[in-house]
Amino acid sequence: MIKVAKFGGSSVADAAQFKRVKDIVEADSSRRVVVVSAAGKRFSEDHKMTDLLYLCHAHLVYGVSCEPIFRDIERRFCEIRDELGLDINIEADFDDLWEKMDKDMSVDFLVSRGEYFTSRLMASFLGYKFLDASDCIFSDYNGAFDMEKIEAAIKEALQKYHKVVIPGFYSALPSGKIKIMSRGGSDITGALAAAACNADVYENWTDVSGILMADPRIVKNPKPIEKITYAELRELASMGASVLHEESILPVKEKGIPLNIRNTNKPEHPGTMIVETIEKESEKKGRFLTGIAGRKNFEILSLRKHNLDNNSDLRKVLEILENHKIAIEHISLGLDSFSLVFAKSSVESILYDVISEIQKILKPDNIDIQENISLVAAVGRKMTFRPGISGLIFNALGEAKVNIRTIAQGSDELSIVVGVDNSQFDTTVRVLYEGFAG
Ligand code: ASP
């Protein structure tokens, strides 16, 4: 049995959090690969190491001294080291780094030092081997990962050292130079490491007890989701539920490795388990909704034309939208009419150009734009084989006087999406949660 445990920034923010991590890791000897982010915020007004390092680089670029920030970062690492009684000469490493700091310093290298130093401290504290990401996570210049090389390097290291700590968030380019990933990228490192060693589970330790069934800013104390499939998670994530870096899903999903989201501050909580499929038997009971997510500020473009040619007229409109790089969220098609939903942000300054192009090419009888629309998705694999679900949902929303402006159901019946006025967004989420999830 082998588990890869990735700890996010808040889980390694200070010495007290390091101790929690150690307790978790030592509680299960199969946690042989530990991936860490850079130390994050200790309290809400605090700064993440990664942000401070970006700030240092900006100072370098503009020729302003970044020494106070740089020494602050050094001090934070030294504090963790001293409180944990570790023997690492951080000062010497920081003096070395300071020597190299000039306006040509690579932002990738500098910013990656957050993960680098946090991991070195963690490896020493756990008594694990420090395995630099530059020696085991390989990518090309476009950011594509070389899975074969990653697998070989991680397997070899595990054989040699048995237990390793890997810094998240960066990889080595073919030139050997360091490349950072997009923000939150340590999730990807963890997923790559889990795929490379064929882990039994990829644990992602953070500061919440799993994925919540609804946004806690809208619903009071929403329950965490116990089990969810990768497909459901994708539906929720695309509608704004953010837990994991999107690119961290694929490496583990492809290998059928379950992903467990856990809370470092409540290790006894089982968190959320994300899996490829769930046994049919357990599916027959319980609530049919897995989660609710939504986003505000969409627009609906509705077009009416007598004798509309569904195929060719729709194709022409889609072509116009594609040329303007407008991503369509939903399409509904009726006799002589169709409507398209897209994000307001994608049409902000070009909407009237787009409409006049459509008018010129299609000569419709009417084009109408509805603004300030929110999309709310009710997601649940169990909706697939239960009749009457949409009736229940629409009934509950109707009773709460929510005016549904558009409806879409994914073809795999995993989700029902309703479009409502922005002003009814919170009510819609609450009605769905209270009626079907709470
Ligand atoms: N430290 C990086 C960030 O703040 C990467 C990560 O935490 O995963 O985005």
Q: Which atom of ligand 1 is nearest to the CA of 37?
A: 7
Indicate if ligand 1 lies below 6 Å from the C-beta of 48.
yes
Indicate if ligand 1 lies below 6 Å from the C-beta of 428.
no
Q: What is the pLDDT of residues 113-140, one digit of tens each?
A: 999 999 999 999 999 999 999 999 999 9
Indicate if ligand 1 lies below 6 Å from the C-beta of 11.
no
CATH number at residue 342: 3.30.2130.10
157 shares a domain with 16: yes
184 shares a domain with 41: yes
The pLDDT, as a whole number, for residue 259 is 97
Would residue 257 count as lying in a domain? Answer: no
**Which residues have CB under 8 Å from 59's CB, separation 6+?**
65, 66, 69
d(CA 68, CA 348): 41
Would residue 215 count as lying in a domain? Answer: no
Regions in the chain scoring below 50 on pLDDT: none
Probe target for ligand 1 pocket from 49, 116, 183, with the most ligand atoms within 8 Å of CB: 183
Indicate if ligand 1 lies below 6 Å from the C-beta of 251.
no
DSSP annotation string for 240-270:
T--SS-GGGHHHHHHTT--EEEEETT-TTS-
27 shares a domain with 139: yes
d(CA 178, CA 186): 14
Taking CA atoms only, the protein residue closest to ligand 1 atom 5 is 184
Domain end call among 202, 226, 242: 202
Q: Which residues pair with 323 in a beta bridge?
A: none
Q: How many distinct structural domains can be found in the chain?
A: 2
Tokens of 146: 């070389």
Overall residue count recorded for the chain in this entry: 438
Angle subtended at Cα 159 by Cα 158 and Cα 164, rounded to the nearest 5 degrees: 25
Indicate if ligand 1 lies below 6 Å from the C-beta of 190.
no
Indicate if ligand 1 lies below 6 Å from the C-beta of 10.
no
Q: Which residues pair with 36 in a beta bridge?
A: 7, 167
DSSP code for 323: H
Give all strands (DSSP E) within 264-403, no chain letters: 272-275, 291-304, 328-334, 337-343, 366-379
Map residue 284 onto helix, strand or coil. helix
Indicate if ligand 1 lies below 6 Å from the C-beta of 114.
yes
153 shares a domain with 302: no
Alpha carbon of 185 to ligand 1 centroid (Å) = 6
Taking CA atoms only, the protein residue closest to ligand 1 atom 6 is 184
Would residue 371 count as lying in a domain? Answer: yes
The pLDDT, as a whole number, for residue 437 is 84
DSSP annotation string for 190-205:
HHHHHHHTT-SEEEEE
Would residue 218 count as lying in a domain? Answer: no
CATH number at residue 80: 3.40.1160.10
Probe target for ligand 1 pocket from 37, 116, 122, with the most ligand atoms within 8 Å of CB: 37
Tokens of 134: 């530059």
For residue 30, how many other CB atoms are within 10 A of its CB?
A: 13
Indicate if ligand 1 lies below 6 Å from the C-beta of 380.
no
Would residue 283 count as lying in a domain? Answer: no
**Cβ burial, residue 372 (10 Å; 0-12/13-18/19+):** middle
Angle subtended at Cα 393 by Cα 390 and Cα 398, rounded to the nearest 5 degrees: 120
Would residue 268 count as lying in a domain? Answer: no
Indicate if ligand 1 lies below 6 Å from the C-beta of 315.
no
Indicate if ligand 1 lies below 6 Å from the C-beta of 204.
no
Indicate if ligand 1 lies below 6 Å from the C-beta of 119.
no
Please give the residue range of the domain that contains residue 395: 291-436
Contact in structure between 375 and 298 (CB atoms under 8 Å):
yes
Candidates 420, 413, 425; CA nearest to 290 is: 413
The pLDDT, as a whole number, for residue 279 is 77
Map residue 168 onto helix, strand or coil. coil
Would residue 238 count as lying in a domain? Answer: no
Contact in structure between 393 and 377 (CB atoms under 8 Å):
no
Phi, psi of 168 (to 5 degrees): -85, 180
DSSP annotation string for 54-90:
HHHHHHHHTT---HHHHHHHHHHHHHHHHHHT----H
Indicate if ligand 1 lies below 6 Å from the C-beta of 9.
yes
Alpha carbon of 311 to ligand 1 centroid (Å) = 45
